[in-house]
Amino acid sequence: MKPMIVILKEGTDSSQGKSQVLSNISACQAVAEAIRTTLGPRGMDKLIVDKRGKATISNDGATILKLLEVVHPAARTLVDIAKSQDAEVGDGTTSVVLLAAEILKSTRTFIEDGMHPTIVIRAVRKATALVTEKIREISINIKKDDAKEQKLLLEKCAQTTLNSKLIARQREFFAKMVVDAVLMLDDLLPLNMIGIKKVTGGSLEESRLVAGVAFKKTFSYAGFEMQQKKYSNPKIALLNIELELKAERDNAELRLDNVAEYQKIVDAEWTILYDKLEKLHRAGVNVVLSKLPIGDVATQYFADREMFCAGRVQDDDLKRTQKACGGAIVTTVENLDEKSHQIFGTCDLFEEIQIGSERYNFFTGCPRAKTATMILRGGAEQFIDEVERSLHDAIMIVRRAVKNDAIVAGGGAIEMALSRTLREYSRTVAGKEQMIIAAYAKAFEIIPRQLCENAGFDATNILNKLRQKHAENNIWFGVDITREDVSDNYASAVWEPAIVKINAITAASEAACLILSIDETVKVPKSSSEISNAAKAMNMD
Amino acid sequence: MPSVGTLAFDEFGRPVLILKGQESKKRLFGIEAHKSHILAGKAVANTLKTSLGPRGMDKCMVSPDGDITITNDGATILSMMHVENEIGKLLVQLSKSQDDEIGDGTTGVVVLAGALLEQAEALLDKGIHPIRIADGYELAAKMALEHLDKIAESYPLDLKNLDPLINTAMTTLGSKIINRCQRQMAEIAVNAIMSVADMKRRDVNFELIRVQGKVGGRLEDTLLVKGVVVDKTFSHPQMPKEVRDAKIAILTCPFEPPKPKTKHKLDITTVEDYKKLREYEKEKFSEMIKSIKDAGTNLVICQWGFDDEANHLLLSHQLPAVRWVGGPEIEMIAIATGGRIVPRFQELSADKLGFAGHVYELDFGTTGDHMLCIEQCKKSNTCTIFVRGGNKMVVEEAKRALHDALCVVRNLVRDNRIVYGGGACEIACAVEVAKQANKIATIEQYAIRAFADALESVPLALAENSGFSPIKTVSDVKSQQIAQNNPRLGIDCLNTGTNDMKTQSVIETLIGKRQQISLATQLVRMILKIDDIRLPGETDE
């Protein structure tokens, strides 16, 4: 009898070979299954409750996958591409996962038949390159010089994205809002210059876009209500100072041996605070914002001198205000005087306004940088959260489209066109790759197919119609959700930026290749101690 | 199998784990998920149904620590029920957001949402896609809102003749426990709003109205104090109980020798030193009294306390004083009396004093309880509603009812368009929506018709709660409305003999109704869009 040689730790699971590839493919299929129904305008939402009992209702592929806590190593790849699609273009997270899973599914038979994975991978890579080339070729560029035309285009793109979301019915309203917000920004289109604030209550249509900065009224002390709440052209001081009567040093101790000094120390403490306040007052500041608390004494001091103050302003709000109104966040008031203009910000109008049951500080007409704030209203917290996610997607798409003005038609049209191109190409290839490329071509049909299935249409019927249209060179024909038919989606303005598709296809193909190239997983068993578990969890994240 | 899609098998038929804790997770999918949502939504709505209208009943809620709340305010009931179900929670938030925004109609909005869900169930059974139902609902809601605008009437808003406003407030109070003194409460609410309303900006700052309650007395003893009521008494029993033409010093510093905030230690080594300290303190006290006297004060209000020595000194200098007045109250007093909050004695001067014509202690029966009323203030735009009642539950419920009434009056100040209550406008909208439904060519027609039926749930519930045969009453009113083309006909809940709501003056605000319909529709869309719920199972950890 041969002695057994133990190389790996006991309990290590090491499956390998062809069966491993196949089992990985099944796992990916299962993940795609979980978000399959969220695709398209008739896609459904998922309600996911986490361990702490927090409920999330979402239609966004990346969000759902993140919350599902996938542990299977191969399946995690799909989660990662959804995340990367989210980070890169913001939308199309569901389709990227579906596409990857479908590519795997269609190549599965070849693996089962004993074809070597590397051949499959090579063919997939080749096809991907071909497809991206094709998208670039057929995508339509919209002239940028006509501002009105461009805006129309952007709104169409935003609407296509929002179509599958909860706010589909209000898509025109929100698309306009998103485009206005993005166009308010400067050329770099920094995302953090669009603030999104959520106020529960009110209906969706009461959401509004503010050209400037808005944030919730901060905690205030007695005396706040006596301050003036509206200024035009205010001088705004942005501070990182605590304006409160307090011990200057926390762990210092004073030792007095004379009663007369007692009063002096009290006075000294007051003077420190009053000096700061007076400096601000004398510099002609109207609005004081600070990251740190502004105490009751300061509040009342400002109220007496017709100045407005807000303490404990959130960091990003303060930064946005600074970018918008100019000025600098200062940590000392020592050198402030009327001449230090560059330190103070300004805007056309500052006002405190009641929204729902909350009060908001508005800074509008900011001269320096361009910012926008969206104030979302809605019936429930989860509702607004989902609206925020949807708008985030739309904003990302619009930003992409501004920078990159090539568009393609959505609703499955571009996928069908690509599928046809690949099929035709495959016939010119000799060898094993022919079949793989043909299979890859078929995988693209998953998008229109799923759109139909989610809407309850007869997918086979619609796909046949689409194939026929595309064979006649009507490249923009896609699924028409409203009429249960096919239609020219370019004409009916279902548009998506080409870059979104290119990114989705590349990411999906790469993920598929990656999964196909794995032939062995070595899974070290969980050790009993909690610490190593935690460490592993961290590594996974 | 409910968990299809999350299980995958490897080549030996062993299941592969894809999600973390997959075995214990619960999942509901597809039509089952929809059914379970609808069931939950209906259950919540049914709890509230009996609270609707003037003949609605109250609910008694016992909190975990044994506190009892009796109310028929929808938002309050739901928030105290601690709903566990996720869909139930959405409904709770729905009524809360109606409460935040409008303040009234919190029961109606949930009843409407429940009815919409109930109708959706029947449509789902017919095999209509949930999103098409939601689309139909939104179309119908748009029609209903347009019709509401059409039948809305502009309401006279006249400062001299407050009767119309009082009537509206009475409609709101009609369903509450305090309808015994409906008229009186309505008058109080209207007067309170009118004294703080900013008619130019059409805005009402609620922070200027305080509602205070005290157990004892009768509901009829409830009164409106045009000024501030503080639950405090003069600091010394021998001080006068009444001050006329009070010049008030509002202090936020304690009545004691000032102390540095920095940690300190005073070394006393000799008797002389000790005597000096004593002298110093005495001197400080007399300094303080002097500065108060010099400013011309005859009433001191202090945020902090003062010890017996200071108390005695104040008494001997004929300075009535109040101590331990909370921050918000201090602010109210300052705003009302036009005084300034003074943070230290050195800053006290004549122009910082507030003025009130009449300050007096209010006694309550034999309990020995006292409260301080500050009336005839210089700027009398703050007021306090002082609620009395036989027990704590009644007082609390009366406060909530008054809050609702205040909100309604405020909404009228903001937007003076009204519709008629008693189910009149719901029936009118239902008739209109049903009429328009026939013009729609697509499947949405069914959903629109269902929406019309759901709208009738409010008058149905009203009739049922009033003890009428619901279907007969509602269909009677409906036929009358169509025959007379009169959208003002509603359910005659109180059996007054007429069902014209204009003669009965049962009035609701347009914005309140609009909000109810759009919030309920949007929430129902959200619920219908979910087709997959994942719940964490009971974890073994």
Q: Taking CB atoms and an 8 Å cutoff, what residues of chain B touch A47? A: 33, 86, 530, 532-534
Q: Do B437 and B351 reside in the same domain of the chain?
A: no
Q: Report d(CA A25, CA B78) in Å as an integer.
A: 47
Catalytic residues of B: 73, 106-107, 404
Q: Is A93 a catalytic residue?
A: yes
pLDDT at position A144: 67
pLDDT at position B118: 92
pLDDT at position A13: 63
Q: Report d(CA A37, CA A57) in Å as an integer.
A: 14
| Predicted TM-score of the model (pTM) | 0.81
Q: Taking CB atoms and an 8 Å cutoff, what residues of chain A touch B539? A: 51
- Cα of first residue to Cα of last residue in chain A, in angstroms, is 45
Q: Which two tokens stand for residue B396?
A: 């609390």
Length of chain A counted residue by residue = 541
Q: Rounded to whole angstroms, what are the CA distances from B172 to B1, B98, B404, B506?
A: 50, 15, 7, 9
Q: Using an 8 Å Cβ cutoff, are A162 and A90 in contact?
A: no
- Region label for B535, one of left (φ > 0), alpha (ψ between -120 and 50) or beta (otherwise): beta
Which of A88-97, A364-373, A502-511 has the lowest average pLDDT?
Answer: A364-373
Q: Report d(CA B27, CA B24) in Å as an integer.
A: 10
Q: Report d(CA B88, CA B110) in Å as an integer.
A: 10
Looking at A63, A94, A299, A371, which residue is catalytic? Answer: A94
Return the CATH number at B64.
1.10.560.10
Q: Report d(CA B205, CA B410) in Å as an integer.
A: 9
Q: Is A60 a catalytic residue?
A: yes
Half-sphere exposure of A463 (CA within 13 A, CB side): 19
Instruction: Kindly report, residue by residue over A170-218, the tens digit of the pLDDT.
Output: 888 899 988 888 888 877 777 778 888 888 777 777 888 888 888 888 8
Residue B315 CB burial class (10 angstroms; 0-12, 13-18, ≥19): middle
pLDDT at position B254: 79
Residue for token pair 């009992």: A53
Cβ distance of A70 and B18 shorter than 8 Å: yes
**Domain membership flag for residue B229:** no
pLDDT at position B5: 44
Q: Which domain holds residue B291?
A: 236-357
pLDDT at position B228: 83
Q: Is A393 a catalytic residue?
A: yes
pLDDT at position A494: 85
pLDDT at position A527: 61
Q: Which of B7, B263, B533 sits opposite A253 (nearest CB)?
A: B263
Q: Do B353 and B259 reside in the same domain of the chain?
A: yes
Q: Is A118 a catalytic residue?
A: no
Distance from CA of A52 to the nearest CA of B (A): 9
Instruction: Kindly report, residue by residue over B192-207, the tens digit of the pLDDT.
Output: 888 887 777 777 777 7
Q: Do B38 and B142 reside in the same domain of the chain?
A: yes
**Percent of all residues in chain B with a pLDDT value above 70, rounded to a whole number:** 94
Average pLDDT over residues A419-438: 90
pLDDT at position B179: 72
Q: Taking CB atoms and an 8 Å cutoff, what residues of chain A touch B21? A: 69
Q: Report d(CA B43, CA B62) in Å as an integer.
A: 19
Looking at A63, A93, A107, A128, which residue is catalytic? Answer: A93
Q: Which two tokens stand for residue A109?
A: 């038979």
Query: Which stretch of DSSP H or E encloses residue B248?
Result: strand B242-251
pLDDT at position A248: 67
Q: Rounded to whole angstroms, what are the CA distances from A490 to A301, A486, B12, B445?
A: 62, 12, 48, 29
Residue B4 above 50 pLDDT? no
Residue B451 above 90 pLDDT? yes
**Domain membership flag for residue B122:** yes
Question: If we measure between CA atoms, which residue out of A164, A196, A159 comes closest to residue A376?
Answer: A196
Residue for token pair 């030193």: B273
pLDDT at position B3: 41
Q: Taking CB atoms and an 8 Å cutoff, what residues of chain B touch A485? A: none
Q: Which of A48, A247, A304 sits opposite B340 (nearest CB)?
A: A304
Higher pLDDT, A69 or B381: A69
Q: Report d(CA B171, CA B407) in Å as an integer.
A: 13
pLDDT at position B433: 92
Antiparallel, parallel or unpaired: β B223-225 and B383-389: antiparallel
Confidence of residue B367 (pLDDT cuts 50, 70, 90): low
Antiparallel, parallel or unpaired: β A358-364 and A372-378: unpaired
Average pLDDT over residues B282-292: 85
Q: Which of B259, B277, B519 sits opposite A203 (nearest CB)?
A: B519
Rounded to two decimals, the ipTM of the complex is 0.77
End-of-domain residue from the set B339, B357, B375: B357
Instruction: Kindly report, residue by residue over B156-201, the tens digit of the pLDDT.
Output: 777 777 787 888 888 788 777 777 788 888 888 888 888 887 777 7
**Domain membership flag for residue B388:** no
Query: Which stretch of DSSP H or E encloses residue B251?
Result: strand B242-251
Residue A127 above 90 pLDDT? yes
Cβ distance of B19 and A69 shorter than 8 Å: yes
**Domain membership flag for residue B108:** yes
Question: If we measure between CA atoms, which residue out of B511, B424, B428, B433 comes closest to residue B136?
Answer: B433
Q: Report d(CA A467, CA A380) in Å as an integer.
A: 43
Q: Rounded to whole angstroms, what are the CA distances from B248 to A220, B209, B332, B351?
A: 23, 21, 13, 11
Q: Report d(CA A59, CA A42) in Å as an integer.
A: 11
Coil/strand/helix, residue A78:
helix
Q: Report d(CA B155, CA B207) in Å as an integer.
A: 26
Q: Report d(CA A57, CA B201) in Å as an integer.
A: 39
Q: Rounded to whole angstroms, what are the CA distances from A328 to A16, A293, A351?
A: 60, 18, 21
Domains in chain A with CATH codes: 13-140+409-522 (1.10.560.10), 213-384 (3.50.7.10)
**Percent of all residues in chain B with a pLDDT value above 90, rounded to a whole number:** 8
Q: Rounded to whole angstroms, what are the CA distances from A505 to A22, A129, B13?
A: 22, 10, 32
Distance from CA of A253 to the nearest CA of B (A): 5
Which DSSP symbol is given to A38?
G
**Percent of all residues in chain A with a pLDDT value above 90, rounded to a whole number:** 15
Residue A326 above 90 pLDDT? no
Which of A103-107, A203-207, A533-537, B277-281 has the lowest average pLDDT?
Answer: A533-537
Distance from CA of A448 to the nearest CA of B (A): 18
Q: Rounded to whole angstroms, what are the CA distances from A250 to A247, A256, B176, B359?
A: 6, 17, 54, 43
Q: Rounded to whole angstroms, what are the CA distances from A495 to A42, A163, A409?
A: 17, 11, 5
pLDDT at position B540: 43
Higher pLDDT, A501 or A205: A501
Q: Which of A27, A270, A296 sits opposite B252 (nearest CB)?
A: A296
Cβ distance of B331 and A68 shorter than 8 Å: no
Q: Report d(CA A469, CA A465) in Å as an integer.
A: 6
Residue A125 dihedral angles phi and psi, to the nearest 5° = -60, -40
Residue B448 above 60 pLDDT? yes
Q: Report d(CA B170, CA A261) in Å as an integer.
A: 65
Return the CATH number at B328.
3.50.7.10
Question: If we measure between CA atoms, which residue out of A241, A250, A297, A273 comes closest to residue B262?
Answer: A250
Q: Report d(CA B363, CA B373) in Å as an integer.
A: 11
Residue B504 CB burial class (10 angstroms; 0-12, 13-18, ≥19): buried
Q: Which two tokens stand for residue B250?
A: 């509002």
Residue B367 dihedral angles phi and psi, to the nearest 5° = -75, -15
Q: Report d(CA A209, CA B14) in Å as an integer.
A: 54
pLDDT at position B14: 61
Question: If we measure between CA atoms, which residue out of A418, A397, A242 comes closest to residue A332?
Answer: A242
| Secondary structure, 3-state, A182-237 | HHHCCCCCCHHHEEEEEEEECCHHHCEEECEEEEECCCCCCCHHHCCCEEECCEEE
Instruction: Kindly report, residue by residue over B95-135, the tens digit of the pLDDT.
Output: 888 888 787 888 889 999 999 999 999 999 988 888 889 88
- Cα of first residue to Cα of last residue in chain B, in angstroms, is 26
Query: Which stretch of DSSP H or E encloses residue B224?
Result: strand B223-225
Higher pLDDT, A18 or A374: A374
Higher pLDDT, B110 or A222: B110
Beta strands in A334-405 (DSSP E): 345-346, 349-355, 358-364, 372-378
- Sheet of strand A495-497, all strands in order from the earlier edge strand to the far edge: A140-141, A406-409, A495-497
**Domain membership flag for residue B414:** no
Residue A377 forms beta bridges with which residues? Answer: A199
Instruction: Kindly report, residue by residue over A235-260, the tens digit of the pLDDT.
Output: 888 888 888 877 766 677 778 777 77
Confidence of residue A541 (pLDDT cuts 50, 70, 90): very low
Question: If we measure between CA atoms, which residue out of A184, A205, A202 comes closest to residue A193?
Answer: A184
Q: Do B353 and B426 reside in the same domain of the chain?
A: no
Q: Report d(CA A83, CA A60) in Å as an integer.
A: 11
Antiparallel, parallel or unpaired: β A253-256 and B263-266: parallel
Confidence of residue B541 (pLDDT cuts 50, 70, 90): very low
End-of-domain residue from the set B307, B339, B357: B357
Average pLDDT, chain B: 83
End-of-domain residue from the set B309, B332, B357: B357
pLDDT at position A513: 92
Q: Report d(CA B359, CA B375) in Å as an integer.
A: 6
Q: Report d(CA B430, CA A112) in Å as an integer.
A: 61
Higher pLDDT, B538 or A390: A390
Residue A520 above 70 pLDDT? yes
Q: Report d(CA A91, CA A396) in Å as an integer.
A: 7
**Domain membership flag for residue B397:** no
**Domain membership flag for residue B39:** yes
Cβ distance of B90 and A380 shorter than 8 Å: yes
pLDDT at position B24: 67
Overall domain count for chain B? 2
Tally helices (H) and strands (E) across chain A.
17, 22
**Domain membership flag for residue B257:** yes
Cβ distance of B17 and A201 shorter than 8 Å: no
Length of chain B counted residue by residue = 541
